[in-house]
Structure 1
Amino acid sequence: MINMKKLSALVLLAIASATLLSCSKDDPVPELDQEVITDVSLTFTEVDGNDGVIGTAMEYNASSDEGIGLGGNVVIDDIDGLEAGKRYLVEITAFNGIANEDVTEEIEEEGDHHQFFFVGSAFLGENGFLEYMYDDEDEDGNPIGLRGYITVDENAGSTTGMLNLVLRHDLDKDFEGANNPSWENFVQAGGESDLDIDFDVIL
């Protein structure tokens, strides 16, 4: 005959095991879908009326050891070398220093899932003085934003504004308005932000 104490212990052990298995199966550790970016660079190079390079490249950086937007201190350069009436080729690079990984390549390879937006007071409203135009596209002909052109209003004078650089992934690029690089309602196209950072622009 089975000892009742032993039977009770076996039942409790079985219940505990089932509970642990249930927790591990139903409550997995959530994965972080966001691209980890520790360093992002914007390189501006003046171009002529035919978009031929005529100026010296100017690089502006933002960096965080823990990943931009994931906590820790973020060091951001002021964009202070632009001039009114001029047009610049803008190229973006992104890097994950934690994994020693070039995120730029991943964004380009998965271009149909990624897109940059250029918003903030430097682009929007009656006091906006910058205009961005995409110069790259994914396999479906939709914009990415790793490369493009920024034109500075010729009447800008001495002024300041904010360049809010946003990288979205898994958005609906066919959503109405999504092809506008300075569309402030970009969240309506869905997706999540891999990067959302502000650069001060000083003319």
Structure 2
Amino acid sequence: MKTMRNNLLAGLLFATSITLVSCSKDDPVPELDQEVITEVTLTFTEIDNSGVSMGTSLEYVASSNEGIALGGSLQIDDIDGLESGKRYLMEISAYNGIADEDITEEIEEEADEHQFFFLGSAFTGSTSFMTYTYDDADENNNPIGLVGQVTVDETLLSNTGQIRVILRHALDKDYEGAENPHWADYSQAGGESDLDITFDVTF
């Protein structure tokens, strides 16, 4: 009887260990809930001091058939049509060509979970020559960044620079510093980056 109990106990322990190993092996690895973006367009339209549009809009595109954040062949236009001393309305649109989805609409629908930050030498550092101001907000009056105003310094300390566009998802917008579009420590507010792309700017 004692031998039978020992054998039964050993069998149960063996079956349990097999089950645990099986579950551990077969459990799917959680995937990040990130947007797939194959094309980003920055549209600049000159505006006057009252915010009224002037002249023709300029469009600059970054694209990758495989998804910008996923590597592959990446094509990025140089931003070369802006002028010093002028202000521009900058609008961002994003598209997923793989699934034929307008990511701009998704960002608008989930605006409380998304926010753009703008870094790079054009906006930050001792030779920066641009400033950005958010011109849109979510239902909690926190910034989004799909629409904003860019002012180019009248006197340029450099005739070249970079605009780094970062889109964060599921961040804490109430975190101290998150209201600053040029906040270098944006990752402290948590979340993940759906987009991190750099455009070259020349004058």
**TM, length-normalised to structure 2:** 0.88
Show structure 1 runs of 5+ residues with no match. 1-10
Counterpart amino acid of 1:180? N
For residue 46 of structure 1, give the secondary structure of its aligned residue in structure 2: strand
- Give the secondary structure class of the aligned counterpart of 2:142: coil
Offset, 1:28: 1.4
Letter in 2 for 1:168: R
SS of the residue aligned with 2:55?
Answer: coil
**Per-residue CA distance 1:117-154 (angstroms, 9 max, x = gap):** 01010001110000000000001000000001000000
Amino acid at match of 2:23: S
Q: CA deviation at 1:32?
A: 3.3
Q: In structure 2, do the counterparts of structure 1 residues 175 and 50 end up closer, same or farther at CA, with 3 Å as the change threshold?
A: same
The reply on whether 1:103 has 2:103 as its aligned counterpart is yes
- 1:22 to partner: Cα distance: 1.8
| Residue 184 (structure 1) aligns with | 184
Native 8 Å contact 1:65 1:97 kept in 2: yes
State yes or no: 1:139 paired with 2:139: yes
Residues 73 and 176 from structure 1, CA distance in 2 versus in 1: closer, same or farther, beyond 3 angstroms?
A: same
Whether contact under 8 Å (1:84, 1:157) holds in the other structure is no
Deviation, 1:29, is 3.4
Partner of 2:7: none
Q: Which deviations, in whole Å up to 9, do the C-alpha atoms of 1:13-43 show, x marking residues without a partner?
A: x679736752466x21322311100000000
The 1-side partners of 2:66 and 2:198 are apart by: 17
The CA deviation at 1:189 is 1.0
Q: What's the CA shift string for 1:25-69, capped at 9, x where partnerless?
A: 6x2132231110000000000001101001201000000011002
On the 8 A contact 2:129/2:152 being kept in 1, the answer is yes
Q: Secondary structure at the match of 1:174?
A: coil
Aligned to 1:81: 81
- When the two chains are superposed, the root-mean-square deviation of aligned CA atoms in Å is 2.1
The reply on whether 1:159 has 2:164 as its aligned counterpart is: no
Per the alignment, residue 130 of structure 2 pairs with 130
Matched residue count: 193
Contact 1:46 1:88 in 2 (8 A): yes
TM-score between the two structures when normalised by the length of structure 1: 0.88
Residues in 2 aligned to 1:102 and 1:156: alpha-carbon distance in whole angstroms: 36
Q: For structure 2, which runs of at least 5 residues remain unmatched after alignment?
A: 1-10
